[in-house]
Amino acid sequence: MIGSFTHIFDNLYYGFLPYKFAPIWINVYWTSLGVIDLLAIYFLLKNRNIGVILTLLIMVSDVVINSTAYYSMQIIKDPIALQLQTLFLGFCLGACMLFWESKGTKSSASVT
C-alpha cells in the first residue's frame, strides 16, 4: 500500500508520467504501479490466490526493472530502496506459501 500511495502522490504532485528521467516504458510501469498495487491488495482480500500471484508478479517485475534501472541504466542513484525491495520480494516469496489457499485445506477444515 505504501508503494501504491507513493506512485499516486507522484502522479498528483508532479503530473501524469512524472518520471521524466526514465525511458518511457519504465515511466509507464512506475506510474501504473499506483493502480496495480491497489489491485493486488484488493485481490489479497477477495481472492487470495490471485492476490498472491499478482503480488509476486509485481515484486519480481519491480526488482528486475529497478535493478536494470540501477545497474545498467544508472538512472537510480540510491541502492537502498532497491535493496529494501529485494528484501521485501524475499519476504513475499516466503509468505506466499502461508497465504496460498489450497482446495484441500478448505475442505478438510470444514469436515471437523
d(CA 8, CA 15): 10
The reported pTM is 0.85
As a whole-number percent, the residues of the chain with pLDDT over 90 amount to: 80
Quote the distance between the C-alpha of residue 3 and its chain's center.
8
For residues 89-96, average pLDDT: 95
AA letter at 24 = I
Cβ proximity of 33 and 3 under 8 Å: yes
Instruction: Determine the angle formed by the axes of helices 24-46 and 48-67, rounding to 10 degrees.
Output: 160
Element holding 83 (H helix, E strand): helix 79-99
- For residue 107, name the pLDDT band (cuts at 50, 70, 90): very low
